Amino acid sequence: MIHGTWEPAPADRWEDAFLAGNGHHGALVFGDPEDDRVIVTHHTLVRPNNAPADTAPPRLAAALPALQDALLAGDATAAERFTDDRPLRWVRPFHPAFLTRVQRPPGTPAARPSYRSVDFTTGVVTGVCGERRSEVFVSRADDVLVQYVSAPGPVVEIDLDHRLPGVPAELGVGRGIASARRETVLTLRARYPDSPLGYTGLTLVLADAGRTTVTAAGVRIEGAGHLLLLTRVVRHGGEADADTDTRPSAGAGAGADEGTGAGTGARTDEGAGAHTATAAATEVLRALADSGDGIPALYARLLARHTALHGPAYRRVGLDLGADAAERALPGSALLARPDSTALLERLFAAGRYHLLSSSGLLPPRLTGLWTGDWNTAWSGAFTTNANLNLQTASAVAADLPEVTKAHRALVEGQVGDWRDNAREIFGTRGVVAPTHTDGASGHTYHFSREYPLHLWTAGADWLLVPLLAHEEASGRRDPLVTEVLLELAAFYEDFLSRTGPDGRIVIVPSYSPENRPHGGSWGAVDATMDIAAARHALRAAADRAPDPDATRFRALADRLPPYRVNGDGALAEWARPGLGDRYDHRHLSHLYPVWPLDEINPYDTPDLARAAHRALELRGSENESAHGHLHHGLVAARLGDATRTEDALARVLTGDHFHDSLMSAHYPARDVYNADAAHALPALLIEALVQSTPERLVLLPAPPARCPRGRLTGVRTRFGARVDLEWSPGRCRVVLRADRDAKVELRSPAGVIRIVLRAGEERVVEA
């Protein structure tokens, strides 16, 4: 099995639950038909934790000149005082909505053993126990969580349960039950403590036969042969009202009347907006169910609509390493116990693409993707843009997942206004500055502290634009949003880069290298290598699409930025400023940003700097063994053509017990802290090790891991507008290129360097 995974028993922990999602709603499926539990999530569910006034960027612009003077005069700790004295404020934490539960009443004999699986090609999670079968998917076509139960048994009870780990005791919860025609609608309304914000969960229950009665928590169904549950979440209150689309999808029938029913529990005071959104969502569910078909036929129709979108997206790219058939048949937990298994690598590649696709839609993946089973999500389950989000989406273009790029673009587009506020209030400039942490709604910078002066970091907007620029290159079409933000970013640099040194070159002050600090300095410093690279990249990219004289000005400013510095160890220094020493044992590799993802430093065009970058990689420690650090290390190694270090990065993640049985990953070894970094970044590392592209270059097998001596990688999308199928074995490499547009490309392979000309619509085969 490459395109799926399975386990011989239900999940005992939510971290091991199999995952489904459509980029809006998520599902964590435990896979026990006897007690069928599904945790429901939604990208918009973030809990209020600050007053609105506390989430504005700090007003520090007036104090910036004094800070710059102090840092340039040698006051190494001056940036520690550059604050409005606010305490550390976390962004709003992501949390689960509730649990849907279809269970046999207490005392009913269990029919074990059971079996659960997830099919990556369809996104269907299945649990089987005797004759009883449960299937769950989250529809990309209809934005609804679908649960289909066959042979549920003589009696089942169905309810919605908010009591998940970490749920606030003060959460205001109300329940409702409404009947209309042949279905029942269960409603769970929640209001956050001390807030007008909240959300509503709706589950429409259809039974093909039998008797339905209301219970204290939900409904009891006797004598049904098939059940169908359709679930949605509606966020309401404040700006979140617009986050969830409650319109009927194309093809849905007319909605039924609201109906009547008895409410249970305390009512939450949601307001008219909440009731309107809830009613609209209810009508969507009823419209989907109102087909006149039997439940099996209705389920088949919903599934077909979903797989028509999900299936082709998932299948665009594939990796076959020729693994042993017996190992491919093993459950995921057994494969994880064989870290050297080629079958494990195949399955993790497939799972990573599946999870990345499934968590991207309304927004790109969070630190936890689209999933969590606990209200106390580590680091707020936020979007962290100084490495984590960037690593997770690294394969979006090459792995041909424009759905991910579109979601990434939505995050940028939705926050540009807040980025302008950050630039104005913190730096007194035009243009934009992106935050290091965001909850997905607010783009304001307000999460920072003395040890983590994240408000000083100015490279974030450039890094967030990199995948959008790569998508432009691959598609051959420019995006007006990218142009707009690039020009605003260039305007920021024109205002911010106001200080110069004795040599007339720009000095970037203050400057910050996430999340490290130099010897001889503090967290806020001068001329961090990443800041130099980001500014140069953004100004040159903006110049390429700006009219003169703006373009000339942008290029001239980029040319005045300081050069990179090679330190006494022969390594690319993390700070170009003389006197600032490197701290090598750190999980971030921010100073290698010009290698990956920018490709400004590479072995072909800048061999001397590439050697210095490689030396920096050799000296870098892993600090706390975080998975994102290992994968980041591997991506840089692949760009530098170091197959040994690429292999080592893979080995450290695979032998460090970083993956749950769900094949979702953890931040630390021993499956500590649920986190999507490794799961989503691993496909990017494998692709980079096997195929790399720029608008003018294709590199085959630049850093193949030793564990991958042969295989086939298909469908890779290049930045010069072609798709690549690669087959390789010892001493042999064969590539098929299918070009969308004409291109002249330098092709590098173990056999040497050649120039090839591609014609749109033609297929080119090269043996190397």
pLDDT per residue over 511-544, tens digit each? 999 999 999 889 999 999 999 999 999 999 999 9
Asked whether residue 737 carries a pLDDT value surpassing 60, the answer given is yes
Is the predicted pLDDT of residue 13 greater than 50, yes or no? yes
- Residue-wise pLDDT for 53-79, tens only, equals 889 999 999 999 999 999 999 999 999
What residue segments make up the domains of the chain, in order of their start? 4-46+92-311, 50-89+382-585
Task: List, in order, residues 6 or more apart from 169 with CB less than 8 Å away.
Answer: none
Regarding predicted confidence, which is higher, 263 or 448? 448
Per-residue model confidence (pLDDT) at position 489: 98
Phi first, then psi: give them for residue 271, nearest 5 degrees: 95, 170
pLDDT reported for residue 528: 97
Q: Judge whether 727 and 708 are in contact, CB under 8 Å.
A: no
pLDDT of 180 > 90? The answer is no
pLDDT-derived band at 268 (thresholds 50, 70, 90) equals very low
Residue 626 has what pLDDT?
A: 93
d(CA 752, CA 768): 8
- pLDDT recorded at residue 54: 87
Give the model confidence (pLDDT) of 161-170 as tens digits: 999 999 999 9
pLDDT of 275 over the 80 cut? no
Residue type, 48: P
691 band by pLDDT with thresholds 50, 70 and 90: very high
Q: 54-68, 171-185, 195-209, 466-480: which range is least confident on average?
A: 171-185
Integer CA distances (angstroms), 406 to 15, 396, 418, in order: 27, 10, 20
Provide CB contacts within 8 A for 743, sequence distance 6+. 720, 721, 722, 757, 758
pLDDT on residue 629: 95
| 523-535 residues labelled b (16+ CB within 10 A) or e (exposed) | bbbbbbbbbbbbb
Give me the percent of the chain exceeding a pLDDT of 90.
85
Q: Is the pLDDT of residue 225 over 90?
A: yes
Contact 93, 546 (CB under 8 A): no
Interatomic CA distance for residues 508 and 502, integer angstroms: 14
On the CB side of 62, how many CA atoms lie within 13 Å of its CA? 2
pLDDT for res 110: 62
Arithmetic mean of pLDDT, 355-383: 97
Q: What pLDDT was estimated at residue 451? A: 85
| Length, in residues, of the chain | 768
The residue ranges of DSSP E strands in 70-109, in sequence order, are 98-103
Residue 175: beta bridge partners?
188, 264
Rounded-to-integer distance, Cα 405 and Cα 717, Å: 13
Instruction: For the chain, report the end-to-end CA distance as a whole number of angstroms.
Output: 30
Residue 181: band (very low, low, confident or very high) from pLDDT cuts 50, 70, 90 = low
Fold (topology level) of 50-89+382-585: Glycosyltransferase (1.50.10)
For residue 421, with 0-12 CB atoms within 10 Å meaning exposed, 13-18 middle and 19 or more buried, which class applies?
Answer: middle
Q: Are 212 and 186 in contact (CB under 8 A)?
A: no
SS3 744: strand
Can you give the pLDDT at residue 216?
Answer: 84
3-state helix, strand, coil in the chain (%, to 5): 30, 25, 45
**What single-letter DSSP state applies at residue 81?**
G
Q: How much is the pLDDT for 278? A: 73
Give the model's pLDDT for residue 768: 84
Strand ranges (E), 425-505: 437-438, 499-500
- ∠ CA 537-543-546, nearest 5°, is 140
**What's the mean pLDDT in 206-219?**
90
Partners of residue 27 on adjacent β-strands: 20, 40
CB 751 within 8 A of CB 768: yes
Between CA 711 and CA 570 the distance in angstroms is 37
Q: Greatest CA separation found in the chain?
A: 86
Run of H or E including 204: strand 198-207
Residue type, 653: V
What's the pLDDT score for residue 252? 32
Q: At the topology level of CATH, where does 4-46+92-311 sit? A: Beta-galactosidase; Chain A, domain 5 (2.70.98)
Question: Residue 257: pLDDT band by 50, 70, 90 thresholds?
Answer: very low
What percentage of the chain reaches a pLDDT higher than 70?
93
Q: Return phi, psi of residue 532, to 5°.
A: -60, -50
Q: How confident is the model at residue 338 (pLDDT cuts 50, 70, 90)?
A: very high
pTM confidence score: 0.94
C-alpha distances out from residue 132 to 136, 439, 593, Å: 14, 40, 52
pLDDT interval class at 111 (50, 70, 90):
low
Report how far residue 270's alpha carbon sits from residue 749's, in angstroms, rounded to the nearest whole number.
62
Helix (H, G, I), strand (E, B) or coil at 203: strand
Give the pLDDT score at 273. 54
Residue 258 pLDDT:
27
- pLDDT at 247 > cutoff 70: no
Summary mean pLDDT of the chain: 92
Q: Is the pLDDT confidence value at 144 over 80?
A: yes
pLDDT at residue 316, rounded to an integer:
98
